[in-house]
């Protein structure tokens, strides 16, 4: 079962009662997404590479919070984003519509954009607006076939390794690294030593920026292959 919860910064998240795991940090869902995925992932890549277009692959679409913040970033920075997200267990609109993200995140037509990213079809590339396209793939990360060197930024937002270890297996990480372009960036909130060692053994350069509230550090891995 999924229960609506409120995190410390006032933004909602969901609790998966079977796993006893939340979709975001209870210290602040919005702060975590902004810090880990937007600031240290998307913004880092755009600034470092002076990019005007970015392709993002997300593992775990969930509530769509990362997607909504990336959409905001695309409009505010006039950066074209091709956002592809995989989700094995899509959430019902009845529950999603109770999330308060569009009340807390203000940008052009935020409410309509929140509805659009959730109500658009799955398994189809949808142009949400002139800057942002979204492809939501209803599949497991274990079964999906990915194209080599296809993405600039990876948002790896699976449930914690203690709750869903199969998401963090080296075979999954290897598949993700396979789809990363040279100089692309992988970010996640998790800072486990095993993850860092696995990514390093796959050729990634590991950085540990400070984490969001409640977490000492996070992981950013840059693909330095030539």
Contact positions toward ligand SAM, by CB under 6 A? Answer: 23, 33, 60, 62-63, 65-66, 86-89, 140-142, 157-159
Q: Of the two residues 89 and 122, which places its CB atom closer to ligand SAM in the complex?
A: 89
E strand or H helix at 136: strand 132-138
Choice between 21 and 183, CB closer to ligand SAM: 21
- Looking at the Cβ atoms of 23 and 45, the one nearer to ligand SAM is 23
Residue 88 CB, shortest distance to ligand SAM, in Å, is: 4
Rounded least distance, CB 53 to ligand SAM, Å: 22
What lies within 8 Å, CB to CB, of 83 at 6+ separation is: 55, 56, 58, 67, 70, 71, 132, 133, 134, 135
State the nearest-atom distance from the C-beta of 170 to ligand SAM, in Å.
15
Q: 69 vs 222, which CB is nearer to ligand SAM?
A: 69
Helices (H), the chain: 29-32, 44-49, 65-77, 93-96, 101-104, 110-119, 170-178, 193-201
The least distance separating ligand SAM from the CB of residue 26, rounded to whole angstroms, comes to 12
d(CA 14, CA 23): 5
């Amino acid at each position: 079962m999924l229960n609506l919860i409120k995190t410390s910064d006032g933004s909602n998240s969901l609790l998966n009662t079977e796993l006893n795991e939340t979709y975001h940090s209870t210290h602040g869902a919005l702060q975590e997404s902004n810090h880990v995925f937007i600031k240290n992932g998307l913004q880092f890549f755009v600034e470092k590479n002076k990019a005007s277009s970015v392709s993002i692959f997300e593992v775990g679409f969930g509530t769509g919070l990362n997607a909504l913040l990336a959409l905001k970033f695309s409009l505010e920075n006039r950066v074209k984003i091709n956002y592809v997200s995989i989700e094995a267990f899509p959430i019902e609109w009845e529950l999603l519509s109770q999330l308060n993200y569009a009340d807390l995140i203000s940008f052009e037509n935020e409410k309509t954009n929140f509805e659009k990213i959730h109500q658009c079809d799955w398994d189809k590339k949808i142009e949400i607006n002139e800057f942002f396209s979204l492809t939501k793939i209803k599949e497991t990360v274990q079964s999906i076939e990915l194209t080599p060197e296809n993405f600039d930024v990876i948002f790896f937002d699976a449930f914690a390794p203690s709750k869903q270890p199969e998401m963090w297996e080296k075979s999954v990480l290897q598949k993700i690294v396979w789809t990363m372009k040279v100089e692309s960036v992988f970010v996640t909130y998790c800072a486990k030593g095993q993850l860092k060692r696995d990514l390093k053994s796959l050729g990634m350069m590991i950085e540990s920026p400070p984490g969001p509230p409640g977490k000492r550090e996070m992981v950013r891995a840059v693909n330095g292959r030539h």
